[in-house]
Amino acid sequence: MRSSINTKALLLLVSAASLLAGCVSRNETAIIAGGVRPATAQNGTFTTTRTVVVGQTSTLDAMWNLNPDCTTRTNPTVRIVEQPVHGTVAINQRTDYPNYPTNNPRSACNKTQQPGVFVDYTPAPGFAGTDIVSFEEISDRGVDRTWKMILTVK
């Protein structure tokens, strides 16, 4: 029984990575080299961990939606599902360098700054410990994913 559940979870993760590998680039909390997501999926929510520095704003996630020629498509819509208890989270649009894996046809886009959507977290002054934030990402194709990030503030 356990093997069956683990196999289903792995297939879900691989499917999600395959869907996103062509269009969306994320920082190390999501797609890394080879299109693998270091997250677990349960009930439609991807859960991952991240360490952030006390007193500093950290980008938890960055999303781009580019065509292979690096022209911009409609960026995903991002909404906060669960606000952190010990800090604040903001959804910002700005430009930065994407990080598509080298085997992705969009990897050439990594050489120039592109407009994207960023999830930024700022811990409360003096806070160190664990915090949690959840956000929903809806792609221009209607793919809806929820991310839960367990943050260690050090």
For residue range 115-150, what is the model confidence (pLDDT) as tens digits?
Answer: 999 999 999 999 999 999 999 988 888 788 888 999
List of residues 6+ apart from 128 with CB closer than 8 A: 54, 153, 154
Percentage above 90 pLDDT, the chain: 52
> Which pLDDT band holds residue 5 (cuts at 50, 70, 90)?
very low
Question: Which two tokens mark 90?
Answer: 């903001």
User: Model's pTM, two decimal places?
Assistant: 0.71
- 46 pLDDT more than 50: yes
pLDDT, tens digit (0-9, with 9 covering 90-100), for 53-70: 999 999 999 999 999 999
CA pair distance 149, 51, nearest whole angstrom: 10
Specify whether the CB–CB gap between 101 and 34 falls below 8 A. Answer: yes
Residue whose token pair is 């010990």:
86
**Strands 40-42 and 77-82, bridge-based pairing:** unpaired
Identify the pLDDT of residue 22.
37
- 6 pLDDT more than 50: no
Across residues 71-85, what is the average pLDDT?
93
Mean pLDDT of the chain: 78
- 15 pLDDT more than 90: no
